[in-house]
Amino acid sequence: MKSHFELEDALFIGFCATLLVVLKSMLRLKLGLSGHSMFLMTFFYLLCYGAVGRVGCITACGLLAGIVAMMLSVGKGGPLILLKFGLPAVAMDLTLLMIAGVFKLRWQCVIVALIGCLAWASKGWVENMLAGMTHQIALTKFALNFLQGGVFAIGAALIVPTVLRRLQSHDLLQDHHKQYK
Amino acid sequence: MNLIELKGIHFGYDTHQVAILDDLHLSVNHGECHCISGATGCGKSSLLHLIAGELSRPFEGEMIRHPALMVGLVMQDPNVQVLRQSVGAEIAFALENLGTPSVKMLEKVQQALRRVGLYISIDTPVDVLSLGQKYRLMLAAQLVFEPNLLLLDEPWTQLDNHGVQELYFVLKSLLSDGVAIVMVEHHPQAFGTLISHLWQLEQGKLVAGLYLPSVPREHKLNVTAAKATTSESCAEERVRISPHRFQFTGRETLFRCANTLSLAAGEIVALVGDNGSGKSSLLKALAGIQADIGQLPFSVLGKRPKLGIYGPNLSLLLQRPNRQLFEQTVLTEMQFSLRRFKLPLTRAEQMLAQLSLMGLAAASPHKLSYGQQHIIALASLACLTPKVLLLDDPFAGLDSVHCEKVWQLLLQLRQQGCAILLSSHREMSLDDVDRVWHIESGFLLDRSESMEQSYAG
């Protein structure tokens, strides 16, 4: 990962965060499937990581998306929407600190996506516990959320390397020598 | 102090590739006109972008700029640098950024337009301009802020003869005003005595002289033999253009066609006309992809042109090749249509080998030079061996070596019975093509017979 941070990086992070919130608010998918929001979230976070390649870029993207969503009243949760976007982002960034460069990009994306999903499901678990749900039901709900969110997150994670390769072939990524495999 | 001085510049796009600029030295001073020639894809345009300071990639070496340096750049594909929607707004963009009072803008914009020979309203939408007109527009957009260093990328290629002549006088007056010019050009003869320094870019270095590879001219048509062959094969008509008025919906007539024109199998016909005369629109209309044109009495392969009905039998090379390149490598790009139409994929490699372009097989087509993109786009169409091949300015950005390769390819397709219609804004010889259609003074006509008589005379 590179150590410096440039204007282009900031613009791309802002672009990913804005597009994530805008798409989420425009589509308003009522699929009735818990966890489908993990698809867009994972996709944009990992795209941001792949394109910017700097520690903290996912967190920045997540917090920015959370702030924009909070200001525009997108999704459920009021101010807690910041946590919804921010928590998985922080978890993904922390994971990348440990596994960056260890695996191939595809596996790295899958692992990071699952950790992000775990953080997202944990947030729901804590909320349920605070609401007075029993341990057993809260845990079952957590497992179900993780499972459903995980399917969407892995789907998004598998797309990201292809998108990055396409961006690289169009000369749109700064790290021109990196191989996105 | 020089306007700009480059010392020992090393620059490359990828670490695993050879540096395209290697220990390059260049100094440019007021009133000098430098012309750089070189093989297609050797790094000429990259050098201009480097001088303009708009390459984000790092380079080694020293670049010393005069504090008062003001650079104007007109790229090879002017569409890349168009920012606004109307002609006036596009030219005024630089003035807005320089903080010019709005009351002075109108006069400056109109002066710049007149200077490059564009006599159109400032409210004209940029979209309706042809590529050559857009090139002039971008030139006006640079001249309006009075740069002291003007960078031009292959003006001869994009401009018709009239445009080149006008540019000649514009450059002459700029040079006399002390403006320095650096141009990349395969045909410096067009600017004759204006050029004070002639360079060729060779192995990353600038060497004095003109790039003139010895290319045997082998593509000359044997017209008599061709006609004999055509009559033998009963000259199957592939394209028929009946008399019509060619005009966009709600606009004035672009040109009229008074006689029926036809293109037969095994024929190469050139469509010649000035910038903005309607060549590209006609080719698109024949391919069935031109919008706002209404129903025209065209017949291509016995059908009224419509998008998607011809499959691999009709191919169109667009004037901007990057509009039809989308895959991640050159090889996969060439294999895309072959795969789609269930044709042998090996044709792609054979075609690359034939054109001596195997070195580009793994490269991204989006990172290639304008000329290289042109030849790759053409090669990917030629692989399909279509029955009708429409080519919009296929030689743009190509050096003589690559031009000869393209001619050989076209002759090969012609022998296989392909009907080829290619557009050009320069006159073409009947040694090169079977017939020539002209768009001039608002008429589309076949002038081959009169040309043949003048040749005979």
Tens-place pLDDT, residues A23-56: 888 876 666 667 788 999 999 999 999 999 888 9
ipTM over 0.90: no
* pLDDT the model gives residue A15: 94
Tokens 């303009």 correspond to what residue?
B52
Q: Is B336 on the interface with A (CB under 8 A)?
A: no
Q: Is B14 on the interface with A (CB under 8 A)?
A: yes
Q: Is B214 on the interface with A (CB under 8 A)?
A: no
Residue B127: burial class (beta carbons within 10 Å; 0-12, 13-18, 19+): exposed
C-alpha to C-alpha distance for A88 and A72, rounded to whole angstroms: 20
Q: Distance between the two ends of chain A, CA-based, in angstroms?
A: 16
Angle subtended by helix axes B102-115 and B131-143, to nearest 10:
130
The model's pTM? 0.80
For B440-452, the pLDDT digits (tens) are 889 999 977 666 5
Q: Which of B15, B329, B367 comes nearest A171 by C-beta? A: B367
pLDDT of B224 over the 70 cut? no
Torsions phi, psi for B445 (to 5 deg): -145, 155
DSSP state of B260: -
B78 close to B237: Cβ distance less than 8 angstroms: no
Residues 127-146 of chain A whose Cβ lies under 8 A from any Cβ of chain B: none
A130 lies in some domain: yes
Residue A45: burial class (beta carbons within 10 Å; 0-12, 13-18, 19+): buried
B66-to-A95, A98, B63, B149 alpha-carbon distances in Å: 49, 48, 10, 11
**Contact criterion met (CB < 8 Å) for A176 and B13:** yes
A174 lies in some domain: no
Shortest distance between the Cα of B28 and any Cα of chain A, in A, equals 30
Minimum Cα–Cα distance from B322: chain A residue: A170
**Contact criterion met (CB < 8 Å) for B364 and A176:** no
Q: Is B366 on the interface with A (CB under 8 A)?
A: yes
The residues facing B182 across adjacent strands are: B34, B151
B9 close to B23: Cβ distance less than 8 angstroms: yes
**Contact criterion met (CB < 8 Å) for A169 and B329:** yes
- Structurally, chain A folds into a number of domains equal to 1
Long-range contacts of the stretch A124-128 (C-beta < 8 A, 24+): A127/A80
Among B46, B49, B55, B56, pick the best mutation site for testing chain A contact (most A Cβ within 10 A). B56
Q: Which helix (H) or strand (E) holds B159?
A: none
Residue B292: burial class (beta carbons within 10 Å; 0-12, 13-18, 19+): exposed
C-alpha to C-alpha distance for B167 and B273, rounded to whole angstroms: 18
C-alpha to C-alpha distance for B172 and B176, rounded to whole angstroms: 6
**Which of B78 and A163 is assigned the larger pLDDT?**
A163
* Mean pLDDT across B359-383: 91
C-alpha to C-alpha distance for B223 and B407, rounded to whole angstroms: 15
Among A9, A164, A176, A178, pick the best mutation site for testing chain B contact (most B Cβ within 10 A). A176
Q: Please name the amino acid found at residue B333.
A: E
C-alpha to C-alpha distance for B383 and B336, rounded to whole angstroms: 11
**Contact criterion met (CB < 8 Å) for A170 and B364:** yes
Residues 269-298 of chain B whose Cβ lies under 8 A from any Cβ of chain A: none
* pLDDT the model gives residue B454: 57
**Which of chain A's residues have a Cβ under 8 Å away from the Cβ of B373?**
none
* Mean pLDDT across B1-5: 87
pLDDT of A177 over the 70 cut? no
* pLDDT the model gives residue A8: 85
C-alpha to C-alpha distance for B412 and B433, rounded to whole angstroms: 13
pLDDT of B163 over the 60 cut? yes
* Mean pLDDT across B407-423: 93
**Contact criterion met (CB < 8 Å) for A166 and B328:** yes
C-alpha to C-alpha distance for B436 and B307, rounded to whole angstroms: 26
C-alpha to C-alpha distance for A78 and A71, rounded to whole angstroms: 9
Show the beta-strand stretches assigned E in B15-166.
21-28, 33-37, 60-65, 71-74, 149-153
Cβ contacts of A69 within 8 Å, gap of 6 or more: A21, A24, A25, A75, A81, A82, A84, A85
A179 lies in some domain: no
Binned at pLDDT 50, 70 and 90, residue B333 comes out as very high
A42 lies in some domain: yes
**Contact criterion met (CB < 8 Å) for A165 and B329:** no
A65 close to A90: Cβ distance less than 8 angstroms: no
For A77-129, the pLDDT digits (tens) are 677 888 889 999 999 999 999 887 788 889 999 999 999 999 999 988 998 89
User: What is the residue range of A71's domain?
Assistant: 7-169
Q: Residue A166: name the closest of B378, B359, B325 by CA.
A: B325
Shortest distance between the Cα of B366 and any Cα of chain A, in A, equals 5
Q: Is A177 on the interface with B (CB under 8 A)?
A: yes
Q: Which of B16, B327, B366 comes nearest A171 by C-beta? A: B366
